[in-house]
Structure 1
Amino acid sequence: MAQQRGPGSPAAPALERSLDFRRSGLRLLRTFAPERALLLGSLAAATVYVALAVLIPKLLGDATDLVVSGAGTPGGVDFQAVARLLGTVLAVAAASAGFAWVQARLVMAAVHRAGHRLRARAQAKLSRLPLAHLDRQPRGEVLSRTTNDIDNVVQTMQQAFIPMTRALLTVVGVLVMMVWISPLLALVALGTVPVSVLVAARIGRRAQPQFVRQWAVTGRLNGHIEEMYSGHAEVRVFGRGREAVETFDALGEELYRAGFRAQFVSGLIQPAMTFVGNLNYVLIAVVGGLRVASGTLSIGDVQAFVQYSYEFNGPVNQIAAMANLLQSAVASAERVFEHLDAEEETPDPAPTARPGESRAPRGKGHVVFDRVSFRYDPARPLIEDLSLTVEPGRTVAIVGPTGAGKTTLVNLLMRFYETTGGRILLDGTDITAVPRGELRAGMGMVLQDTWLFGGTIAENIAYGVPGDVPRERIVAAAAAAHADRFVRTLPDGYDTVLDEDGVGLSAGERQLLTLARAFLTEPSVLILDEATSAVDTRTEVLIQRAMAALREGRTSFVIAHRLSTVRDADVILVMEAGRIVEHGGHDELLAADGAYARLHAAQFAAATT
């Protein structure tokens, strides 16, 4: 039996695919191209730092030779020469540390600038994505890609770039010094490098799919948390808190397993590399001892070479240890790139507004739906061959059962979705020929689901109007929406600060504020989608009167389930299965005894039982 899914159940796991590490890694590096000057500067500083640092073992070896050679002579050890050499070592170490600091500062600046630019691109991408794409993505998943994944990329690059560049340069510098001291010992040291590379590559390939899974599960977990937080009241009302916790525990356990496997497998790299490095030390000690015994190398040279061998294997091990960080970063980067590569809305035509104008001039509001068709799923038509003409200043009410296509109709008018057939004309112009921003600037929309942001009440009301809005206009809009009275009862009035959910206000009060926002925009087309569903009957009557004044000279689309709110509409459209099955006035449709009459009878029969 198929398990029934309830609220908060985890979505089916996304298809896990192997990450193209090389291609995604190169693309990640290309995001740093604008900071190439900073990165080149950091590379130059790192080169000087490494060059000075690799001199220190050689200088210490020379000091050892001075002590050893002087100990067997009548004059004894030349401590002044040793002191001068040690002073040189201190100066070189201090200069090396200074260049290391310069490199760190440059890298930090480059990484954080690139991170800021990546966040800006992700945010800008959100504004260009079609509503259909966002409807298919859980909000928590989108947030995870634009926050957690970008943070992981930035932090990893910050942690890995400096050690990686230093390690690579150190390998080159140390190898040069090793060849200079003894080509034979250098060959011995290099003999273990292919083994180290093979070990790291084999383990890395096993770890990479686990990092992909880890960040995919992180996105699903964030989606569940966001969903449960936003629906907290419903979860408590329906007693689904236990199921929500169980789902969270299941996702948390899955994340733990994926994260543990990723870290455990990638964590095997460093112990394996350490083992190979220890074998290298043994070989160098044996061969170096034989060379000293034969007189071809001094003790100081062998001391320096052993230290170089340590410094050679250390960076190699460090590079291997960074593999898990890099794999995690590339896994996150690919998720960010998927977001950035998502299909965008069709490009807007050039704006028709004159330079400096923030809004298009108010139109007449003449709307024509000309043989419009639309479907969410290509195999399932929703609206087919719909034609409708709305004269300027007319109020059109749209009623019908759930799923009939009422809200879809106004979403097409607002170009939240694109038609799959036919066209929509506004004042004689095809809306696809008008930039979306310009089109929507002439429309006011109030939805059943209110949206308020963190800010003052005055800022929330003025949200739809660019620039500074005089307080008098804000108060007038609130008064027209019958929100002025309750706003003035708040401690700070219009300066009362709200949070994102408008906590402290009732659902009806939040809806009044969104109505006031629509009043202030003075649109040519007004769209009200269940705009009075959360207010009481008395307030609804007052709002209906205010909206009647607001609709004067404006084309209005009113979507409502409560038929009492649409009695005075000029035209009532009855929709079923994406088609207009009836249209006319309230009394006319009741007399026709058709679909509208059945809706009316069912609604008022339910109200009296």
Structure 2
Amino acid sequence: MKQADKENNHINWKLFAQFLSAHKWVCGLMAVLILLASTTVLIPPWVLGRFVDQLYMPGQAWMWGAAWLAAGILAGVAESGQNSVIIVLGQKLMHFLRSRMAAKLSRLPFSYYTAHSSGEISSHFLNDVDAINVLFTEGIVALSANALKLLAIILVIGRTNVYLALLLCVILPFLWKFTRICQQSVRKAQLKQRSAIADVFSCLPETMAMLPVIQNLGMESFMENRYGQMIGRSFRAIERTNFFDSVYSPIIKMVTACTIAVMMVLAAGNVTGNYFHLSAGKAVSMIAYILALFSPLEALGMEIQSIQTAAAALERVTQFLELPEEKHMPIPGGSTKEVPEDVAACEFRHVSFAYEKGKTIFRDLNFTVRQGDYLMIQGRTGSGKTTLFRLLTGLIQPDSGEILMYGQSLDCMDRQKRRALFGIVEQKFEKVEGTLRDQITLHQGEPSGEDDTWIWHILEQVGLDSTVRQIPGGLEAEAESAGLSDGQWQLMGLARALYGNPRILLLDEFTAHVDTKTEWMLYQTLAKMKGQYTCIVISHRHMNMDNIHVLEL
């Protein structure tokens, strides 16, 4: 177990090492700016002390005053530069991670998508990457910068008066502990508040979907109490967060004031002799250093907490990037478009498949579909109709047997060439934002004469060319205002599937949401295209077409 943890930690830091190696110049600039910011923050208090000591010498006082102003500007510019570079580096880190994750996503097998919800996958890209950005920028980098700044301030105070530095070393651990207690309490309250809000958001869609049932059963009061409990938990968590936020700052300010007061009393020398003796200028400098001390101290606590929180996100992203990828063998050669006409478009040979052990979907399934044939797949719910489509498109692999596409094993087929074989029409047409052209092309390519010729040819095939020509603007008309019927939108879905010039059409219950008259119109359109494409249809109802093969599952 320890060995595994050690290996994971190595992988985590290796990920950062790859990023830093790719952006070494930006990282070098950031390191210089952090060092500069940590150094320049020490200058204004020192100059201020000299200015106070020189007040009785008017000829020099204005010079020290100008130097103090310049030192303040320099420290502000260095701090601003440091923060700007950290932000830029954080954005580059997120781009680096999301690019690698997106590339990984395209190589994962379909089984990953069936085992993980879309919300969980999105969470890796959004929440986890954001957390890693916080880990890197507000955690590791900012932690180093604030630790360096804190150490520099203590060293300067110690060089001025070692006894005062020892006094601060006694006080600081108690302040650190108090800071961590407050931060951890706030963090726990925030987690409870987020959990309560998440429960509300997860319950809302369920409630809206079941609203008629709730009303019919008279369950309104039950749901009201349920929501009340969730919101109450959120409110109590927010109250706890507000309490710690309200007490922390006053206590820190009070301790700061007390520390300064004790320092001034000791510096007077009436009680402690010369151990804490300071000139007026040095006393002012020490006050400024002490005031500057508590800001990085508080930030250190938050940054350690950020690292602890984001470590799990880094581990999840690392595990995601290490997931086994879909295996592809090199295609033997030639194009999938250039095949003999007598070769079957699709052939299942002794295919068996099960999602879970003991729950077999297919056992020794055999069938052949010739080029230009229409095959209708029928069966009860759960019989494997959709699973057959997934096997056919290579989204999942059979447990045994072989699937051939135009004489080539699906396992040996190049992914892009395999995808180009298929045009898919789903149960309901999903619009995208944009024009009628965009509904077909999905924003691929630029409008051109050659592309428009192909689009109009497709629309003529599906029987929509005259309809689109009558719409003001034609292909450039906005989809939302086109006024097409449900059946026409399904035909638009068929046009979208044909845009890639596929050889095989896969129709998944594409008449499920239309009336009988519209269904007949869609089947008539398919009948006109018979022989041009191989068509495999999932349908609960028999297609009223001639020469159609039926596969019962």
Q: Specify if TM > 0.5.
A: yes
Match 2:501 to one of 519, 522, 536: 522
> Once the two structures are superposed, what CA deviation does each residue of 1:308-332 show, in whole Å capped at 9, x if it has no partner?
222223321232255566666556x
CA contact (8 A) 2:336 2:406 kept: no
Q: How far has the Cα of 1:449 moved from its partner?
A: 3.2
Corresponding position of 1:44: 32
Does the residue aligned with 1:290 lie in a helix, a strand or coil? coil
CA contact (8 A) 1:353 1:360 kept: no
Please tell me the residue identity of whatever aligns with 1:59. Answer: V
The two structures, once aligned, show a CA RMSD in angstroms of: 4.2
Match 1:170 to one of 138, 144, 149: 149
Match 2:317 to one of 337, 349, 372: 337
Please tell me the residue identity of whatever aligns with 1:556. Answer: C
Does the residue aligned with 2:39 lie in a helix, a strand or coil? helix
Alignment of 1:371-382 (within 5 A): 371-382=350-361
Corresponding position of 1:108: 87
Alignment of 1:20-169 (within 5 A): 33=20, 34-67=22-55, 77-147=56-126, 150=129, 154=133, 164=143, 166-169=145-148
Corresponding position of 2:4: none
CA contact (8 A) 1:149 1:336 kept: yes
Corresponding position of 2:479: 498
Please give the alpha-carbon distance, in whole angstroms, between the structure 2 residues aligned to 1:348 and 1:245: 54
> Once the two structures are superposed, what CA deviation does each residue of 1:18-73 show, in whole Å capped at 9, x if it has no partner?
xxx99999689668524443233133223223322312222222233334xxxxxx
CA contact (8 A) 1:395 1:556 kept: yes
Corresponding position of 2:3: none
Match 1:405 to one of 380, 384, 397: 384
Q: 402-411 or 514-523: which moved more?
A: 514-523
Corresponding position of 1:440: 419
Corresponding position of 1:484: 465
Please give the alpha-carbon distance, in whole angstroms, between the structure 2 residues aligned to 1:177 and 1:465: 63
Q: How far has the Cα of 1:465 moved from its partner?
A: 7.6
Please give the alpha-carbon distance, in whole angstroms, between the structure 1 residues aligned to 2:265 and 2:333: 82
Please give the alpha-carbon distance, in whole angstroms, between the structure 1 residues aligned to 2:83 and 2:468: 53
Corresponding position of 1:531: 510
Please give the alpha-carbon distance, in whole angstroms, between the structure 2 residues aligned to 1:215 and 1:277: 34
Give yes or no for the alignment of 1:391 onto 2:370. Answer: yes
Q: 187-196 or 138-147: which moved more?
A: 138-147
Match 2:348 to one of 369, 394, 397: 369
CA contact (8 A) 2:108 2:326 kept: no
Match 2:405 to one of 426, 430, 435: 426
CA contact (8 A) 2:373 2:533 kept: yes
Match 1:546 to one of 518, 525, 549: 525
Gap change, CA 1:99 and 1:203, over 3 Å in 2: closer
Gap change, CA 1:455 and 1:531, over 3 Å in 2: same
CA contact (8 A) 2:331 2:412 kept: no
> Once the two structures are superposed, what CA deviation does each residue of 1:288-340 show, in whole Å capped at 9, x if it has no partner?
33389734633232332233222223321232255566666556x45962784
Q: Identical aligned pairs, as a percentage?
A: 22
Match 1:316 to one of 297, 301, 305: 297
Flag structure 1 segments of 5+ consecutive residues without an equivalent: 1-20, 68-76, 576-609
Give yes or no for the alignment of 1:475 onto 2:456. Answer: yes
Does the residue aligned with 2:41 lie in a helix, a strand or coil? helix
- TM-score by length of structure 1 reads 0.74
- TM-score by length of structure 2 reads 0.80
Give yes or no for the alignment of 1:180 onto 2:168. Answer: no
Q: How far has the Cα of 1:480 moved from its partner?
A: 1.7
Q: How far has the Cα of 1:133 moved from its partner?
A: 3.4
Q: How far has the Cα of 1:520 moved from its partner?
A: 3.1
CA contact (8 A) 1:366 1:427 kept: yes
Gap change, CA 1:492 and 1:340, over 3 Å in 2: farther
Does the residue aligned with 2:360 lie in a helix, a strand or coil? coil
Q: 530-539 or 333-342: which moved more?
A: 333-342
Give yes or no for the alignment of 1:347 onto 2:327. Answer: yes
CA contact (8 A) 1:443 1:525 kept: yes
> Once the two structures are superposed, what CA deviation does each residue of 1:371-419 show, in whole Å capped at 9, x if it has no partner?
2122222342222222222333322211111111112111111112222
Please tell me the residue identity of whatever aligns with 1:555. Answer: T
Q: How far has the Cα of 1:568 moved from its partner?
A: 2.8
Corresponding position of 1:9: none
Gap change, CA 1:566 and 1:362, over 3 Å in 2: farther
CA contact (8 A) 1:140 1:220 kept: no
Please give the alpha-carbon distance, in whole angstroms, between the structure 2 residues aligned to 1:430 and 1:163: 54
Gap change, CA 1:139 and 1:490, over 3 Å in 2: farther
CA contact (8 A) 1:144 1:222 kept: no
Please tell me the residue identity of whatever aligns with 1:349. Answer: M
Give yes or no for the alignment of 1:458 onto 2:431. Answer: no
Please tell me the residue identity of whatever aligns with 2:291. Answer: Y
Please tell me the residue identity of whatever aligns with 2:62. Answer: A
Please tell me the residue identity of whatever aligns with 2:356. Answer: D
Q: How far has the Cα of 1:561 moved from its partner?
A: 0.8
Does the residue aligned with 1:562 lie in a helix, a strand or coil? coil
Please give the alpha-carbon distance, in whole angstroms, between the structure 2 residues aligned to 1:32 and 1:261: 39
CA contact (8 A) 1:481 1:516 kept: yes
CA contact (8 A) 2:101 2:321 kept: no
Gap change, CA 1:153 and 1:520, over 3 Å in 2: same
Gap change, CA 1:471 and 1:129, over 3 Å in 2: same
Count of aligned residue pairs for this structure pair: 534
CA contact (8 A) 1:140 1:222 kept: no
Does the residue aligned with 2:348 lie in a helix, a strand or coil? strand
Please give the alpha-carbon distance, in whole angstroms, between the structure 1 residues aligned to 2:336 and 2:246: 60
Give yes or no for the alignment of 1:572 onto 2:550. Answer: yes
Flag structure 2 segments of 5+ consecutive residues without an equivalent: 1-7
Q: How far has the Cα of 1:350 moved from its partner?
A: 4.0
Q: How far has the Cα of 1:441 moved from its partner?
A: 0.7
CA contact (8 A) 2:441 2:496 kept: yes
Gap change, CA 1:304 and 1:164, over 3 Å in 2: same
> Once the two structures are superposed, what CA deviation does each residue of 1:204-246 show, in whole Å capped at 9, x if it has no partner?
5666666666667776766667x67xx97x6677778979998
CA contact (8 A) 2:509 2:540 kept: yes
Please tell me the residue identity of whatever aligns with 2:37. Answer: Y
Does the residue aligned with 2:290 lie in a helix, a strand or coil? helix
Gap change, CA 1:465 and 1:172, over 3 Å in 2: closer
